[in-house]
């Protein structure tokens, strides 16, 4: 099948130079294709367990020197990298589109994430990573200093839906903190993170500090986890459980951002025009392949027909297409296999009584993995689309009579990654948001406001994850805390000639005095 012409930036020389960074001593390769056409772009080397061990050894050697650099010098690398990432955004977007099939808007917006993370931590890292001196157990003669030291080598397992953003943005704070990184991108979407790493090295990141290994998860994952000092994973809840269990056996930390079945509650005072536009992106952005995208919408009974009809009308007229320009509003799914999974959810719902209000079909006339924006009605929890993550351009509409009922329905899930509340009375909307069991809640937005707020931690609750990215927590998780305690004078014990009874009496009196004087 023919697709749009490949952008001029994606030369064979560039693609071969990128995949040359991937170790593959066993000779096995993966056919990495352009999603729009199915054309093979490059043969991606597949890393053996021995390749992964060598990558970690190289990373450790580089990390020992990198950790000795003053923080200010490390941050200078990222100051330069920011400019390179922004200046090369269109080439990066070309790579993202070719390997993932997303539309141009989403590809460009994805390129913005690493620079945003860099900007935040350039400002914040000097304060967060600075040693903090505190009082010790004995006032004036003892101190205790909190020192943050790098973990060592961080393993990052990045997903295919935002390969550039997660491949780089999760690594940036780890590198700033003095760690090395070994990243495993998804085979389908390895090109854009490889390009990003090349730009970081152009900015002055030491060679060998940021390694890439490739392969299928079961083949690569165990060796990667067993050699890492910390694991960052974004992906499915099922895989997250496996990774978390292995990390636990190895007594290393992990951060897991997992699946969601994200709800939206629309209040009866909502502005319909603003809601339709915001929700269209929140449901169908990146063709529904966003961990935080909305899959369940609860509409008030009093305005159900009005809101349903307005939203369905907008969804039915979204421009779907394969192009490296800003024409299409909806791009492709990442693969034909994933298209079939999305289709199976819709087919199962229809077979069990749900109604398709718009969409519901694959579009092979456009490309191998295209699927129409789909709105369902009458979805129940015995349907795949009603209880498990579809991760595609599919949403179910539901009625509610009272806000309490809507909140109960929104919380009736094992997931808790993201949620959305819409209404013009912000105090009322915030009160609803406070009752939703989710790591992120957006008011009058679907997902972007929470995720793009780099100063605030973002993560999931329940089965949607452990830990968070962004905020101070997103940097400190890549460090261990060293407590450097100093005793200036030997006063912790009885003085010469003092009996222990007298010492205890003095000690207990001192505790009362310290509390009264608030001495710490």
Just list the catalytic residues: 257, 291
Distance CA 364, CA 440 (A): 36
Locate all alpha helices (DSSP H) within 285-402, ordered by sequence: 304-316, 336-351, 384-387
What residues are paired with 459 via a beta bridge?
468
C-alpha–C-alpha distance, residues 271 and 444, integer Å: 10
Residue 435 near residue 278 (C-beta atoms within 8 A): no
For residue 333, the SS3 value is coil
Q: What is the DSSP string of 345-373?
A: HHHHHHHTT-EEEE---B-TTT-TT-B--
| Structure token pair of residue 168 | 């780089």
**Backbone dihedral angles phi then psi of residue 103, each to the nearest 5 degrees:** -75, 170
Backbone angles phi, psi at 147, to 5 degrees: -120, 130
Q: Do 436 and 264 contact (CB within 8 A), yes or no?
A: no
Q: Strands 210-212 and 180-184, how do they pair?
A: parallel
**23: phi then psi, degrees, rounded to nearest 5:** -70, 140
Q: Which run of H or E residues covers position 119?
A: helix 104-128
Look at residue 232 and give its three-state secondary structure.
Answer: strand
The Cβ of residue 507 has, within 10 Å, a number of other Cβ atoms equal to 13
Q: Please, which residues bridge with residue 264 across strands?
A: 297, 420
Count CB atoms within 10 A of the CB of residue 277.
11
Euclidean distance between CA atoms 311 and 315, whole angstroms: 6
* CA 453/CA 472 separation, integer angstroms: 12
Residue 4 token pair: 């749009």
The alpha-helical segments, DSSP class H, found in 352-439 are 384-387, 403-410, 426-434
How far CA 193 is from CA of 37, 174, 335, 401, in Å, comes to 22, 16, 19, 47
Spatial distance between the Cα atoms of 437 and 434, rounded to a whole number of angstroms: 8
Q: Closest by alpha carbon to 161, among 212, 224, 220, 113?
A: 113
The closest of 193, 36, 13 to 111, measured between CA atoms, is 193
């Amino acid at each position: 099948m023919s697709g749009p012409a490949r952008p001029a930036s994606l030369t064979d020389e560039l693609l071969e130079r990128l995949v040359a960074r991937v170790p593959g001593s066993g000779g096995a390769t993966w056919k990495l294709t352009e999603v729009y056409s199915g054309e093979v772009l490059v043969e991606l080397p597949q890393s053996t367990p021995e390749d992964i061990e060598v990558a970690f050894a190289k990373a450790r050697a580089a990390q020992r020197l990198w950790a000795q650099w003053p923080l200010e010098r490390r941050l200078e690398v990222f100051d330069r990298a920011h400019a390179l990432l922004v200046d090369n955004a269109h080439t990066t977007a070309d790579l993202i589109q070719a390997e993932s099939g997303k539309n141009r808007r989403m590809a460009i917006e994805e390129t913005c994430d690493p620079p945003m993370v860099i900007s935040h931590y350039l400002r914040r890292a000097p304060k967060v990573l600075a040693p903090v001196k505190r009082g010790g157990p004995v006032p004036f003669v003892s101190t205790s200093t909190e020192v943050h030291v790098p973990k060592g080598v961080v393993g990052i397992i990045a997903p295919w839906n935002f390969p550039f953003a997660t491949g780089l943005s999760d690594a940036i704070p780890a590198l700033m903190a003095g760690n090395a990184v070994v990243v495993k991108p998804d085979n389908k979407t390895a090109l854009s993170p490889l390009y990003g790493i090349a730009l970081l090295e152009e900015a002055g990141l030491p060679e060998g500090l940021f390694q890439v290994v490739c392969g299928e998860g079961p083949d690569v994952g165990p060796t990667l986890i067993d050699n890492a000092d910390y694991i960052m994973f974004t992906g499915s809840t099922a895989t997250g459980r496996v990774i978390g269990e292995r990390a636990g056996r190895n007594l290393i930390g992990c951060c897991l951002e997992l699946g969601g079945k994200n709800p939206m509650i629309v209040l009866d005072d909502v502005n319909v025009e603003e809601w339709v536009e915001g929700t269209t992106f929140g449901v169908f952005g990146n063709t529904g392949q966003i961990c935080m995208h909305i899959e369940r919408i609860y509409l008030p009974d009093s305005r159900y027909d009005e809101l349903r009809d307005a939203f369905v009308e907008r969804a039915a007229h979204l421009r779907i297409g394969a192009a490296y320009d800003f024409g299409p509003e909806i791009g492709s799914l990442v693969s034909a296999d994933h298209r079939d999974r999305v289709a199976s959810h819709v087919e199962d719902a229809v077979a069990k009584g749900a109604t398709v209000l718009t969409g519901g079909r694959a579009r092979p006339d456009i490309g191998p993995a295209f699927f129409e924006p789909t709105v369902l009605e009458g979805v129940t929890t015995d349907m795949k689309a009603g209880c498990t993550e579809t991760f595609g351009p599919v949403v179910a509409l539901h009625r509610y009579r009272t806000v309490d009922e809507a909140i109960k329905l929104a919380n009736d899930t094992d997931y808790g990654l993201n949620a959305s509340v819409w209404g013009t009375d912000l105090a009322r909307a915030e009160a609803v948001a406070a009752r939703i069991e989710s790591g992120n809640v957006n008011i009058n937005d679907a997902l972007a406001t929470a995720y793009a707020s780099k100063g605030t931690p973002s993560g999931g609750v329940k089965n949607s994850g452990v830990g968070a990215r962004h905020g101070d927590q997103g940097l400190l998780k890549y460090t261990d805390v060293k407590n450097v305690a100093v005793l200036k004078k030997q006063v912790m014990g009885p003085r010469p000639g003092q009996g222990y009874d007298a010492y205890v009496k003095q000690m207990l009196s001192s505790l009362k005095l310290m509390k009264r004087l608030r001495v710490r």
